[in-house]
Chain A
């Protein structure tokens, strides 16, 4: 995968590109793309993958003009447009799934294939989604991974919170990334998508880790109820970060869209 830049009206956007085949746009979750790079490499074996970063993620420039769900949705359409893509397969994980769902709802005639991997965007009072904005780093693995212990090792590799320099860099990255994510996820990761799901015309596959403790699988059924003809694929022995934990299974499920 190659890291490149594309300019929209508002901001230069960083994106990964690689592979060949049918174009596929992958939208990352609130954690960014750090955990997804191997997954993207594998995905690029089958598709021509474009994975743009939300402004503020990684080394990309922030964009103060992106304030609400409509801004995020149209911004991402702008990116697709500037990449010169027409009706790519639209895929999104977690927060990215929320954005992809909104894109498909707002422009139903421009999306014919949609893959939502543990998307955010709905809220069930009986199944509240834990507050990622109030979590300390050590609390995250338990919610993200099927195997929390292994996850903790992965997340803490190369980190040293007692080193002030590292801590500062960590806080800056958090402020940039989760600060941007908070515009559509804080304090409740729901911005009215439920009332717009009916507009989606795309052939849709909903992919979920069976052991997802952040957005529990009950949400898969809720999305399925809202999107006509949507198919649910449950991935065994996977948590929220299914693309990281079970890349082959997730890609296999996405391939059903071809």
Chain B
């Protein structure tokens, strides 16, 4: 099993009446709710948490990309990953990911991912999301009906840029480049492992299966609701005659809260979970799914956006969120049981664990994280022993990696030389 400590970086200062007074947490969020001075502590606190998780034995620490979104403060996940590269060691940097259709030219993503891989010593796990409709269409203006074609072309360019050793001309419909000659190049060859976050479209299932990429379902609806979608994925893996059904072909995001007892979990975390589910997920349904973004085939399969009105979260109490699996919470033993249930039912080798939830402060988040790392994670390591050697979907760091020099010693040394 591979556990990634994943942070969305929510803005923790949304007012209690946010839902009543605002139409959306995303796209046209009231920019006056953002306080740059407060954000200094928010960002640094989140970086502390990620680095802390990196020291506790998690396999990865993870970040992602959102725009104009009050539950995601990372329009550029690569900036966060770069800062994490320096103060962490031995842990994968999971960027899940950079929306490759949004960059002009998309070569930019190939370059930045190469830099991250080089700086971190081969610790990059790369993500290539199509991006939500909110980010891709409404915030970044990509035409919905052309988004997938643009994505496909960007993917082809990046893969070729990573693979080819001579400068080449790329005559795409959306990107035309005379001299593609990637510099720097990633340490991991032929390329860093690639994970694709998806929302259930058949095309994305097939894309992952055909390219040996890991499919990640980053839902907030929890594993019980996620089961049908993941079953659809595994059915597709079988239908397309993939050479194996390794659980590492799949990943799932899960909100997790661990305390000493079940009652403690509710007492400590319920209000922060409520902040997330009842304020942060308040997305205006008109932004959920730009017409043309989702293919007809996918709509006909009944796969709708998790932000669409039919599935949007109503004011949800703790008890219900825990029972329906949106949140796995409780004592280490309770959490272990439910996690095992999740892992087996969904057949997922990669778990993206969401411990920092809504406006949860650092101390509580670290408490929950540490209990999981010490008392839950070790007991879940061996659910799929037959696939223990499957390294296809994870990074392969250099054996010998640089460590940042101590700052004072360095300046003293400079003094001696002078």
Contacts and interface: CB of A to CB of B under 8 A. Distances in A.
Contacts of B143: 182-183, 186-187
Interface stretch (B159-167, B262-270, B287-295, B353-361): B287-295
Nearest to B308: A171
Given A172-B296, A172-B300, A182-B145, A177 B138 contact: no
Interface string B289-323: 11111111001101010000010000000000000
Contacts of A180: 145, 292
Interface residues of B, number: 27
A167 B310 CA distance: 10
B286 A177 contact: no
Given A134-B138, A179-B292, A168 B302 contact: yes
A177 B144 CA distance: 12
A107 interface: no
A177 B291 contact: yes
A175 B146 contact: no
Contacts of A178: 291-292
Q: How large is the interface on A (under 10, 10 to 19, 20 to 34, 35 or more residues)?
A: 20 to 34
A167 B302 CA distance: 10
Main secondary structure of the interface of A (DSSP, over half): helix
A144 to B, nearest CB: 16
Nearest to B285: A136
Contacts of B310: 167
B141 interface: yes
Interface string B113-149: 0000000000000000000000001100101111001
A67 B148 CA distance: 13
A69 to B, nearest CB: 12
Contact of B286 (A64, A134, A176, A186): A134
A182 B291 contact: yes
B296 A136 contact: no
A167 B138 CA distance: 23
Contact of B145 (A164, A168, A183): A183
Contacts of A198: none
A131 to B, nearest CB: 8
A174 interface: yes
A133 interface: yes
Given A135-B286, A179-B292, A182-B292, A187 B145 contact: no
Contacts of A67: 146, 173
A172 B299 contact: yes
A174 B286 contact: no
Nearest to A179: B292
A171 B299 contact: yes
Contacts of B285: 136
Given A134-B286, A136-B286, A168-B300, A174 B291 contact: yes
Interface of B: 27, 137-138, 141, 143-146, 149, 173, 284-287, 289-296, 299-300, 302, 304, 310
Interface of A: 64, 67, 133-136, 139, 164, 167-168, 171-172, 174-180, 182-183, 186-187
6 contacts: A64-B149, A133-B144, A168-B299, A176-B296, A177-B291, A182-B144
Can you list the 3 inter-chain pairs with the closest CB atoms, starting with the nearest?
A179-B292, A178-B291, A134-B286
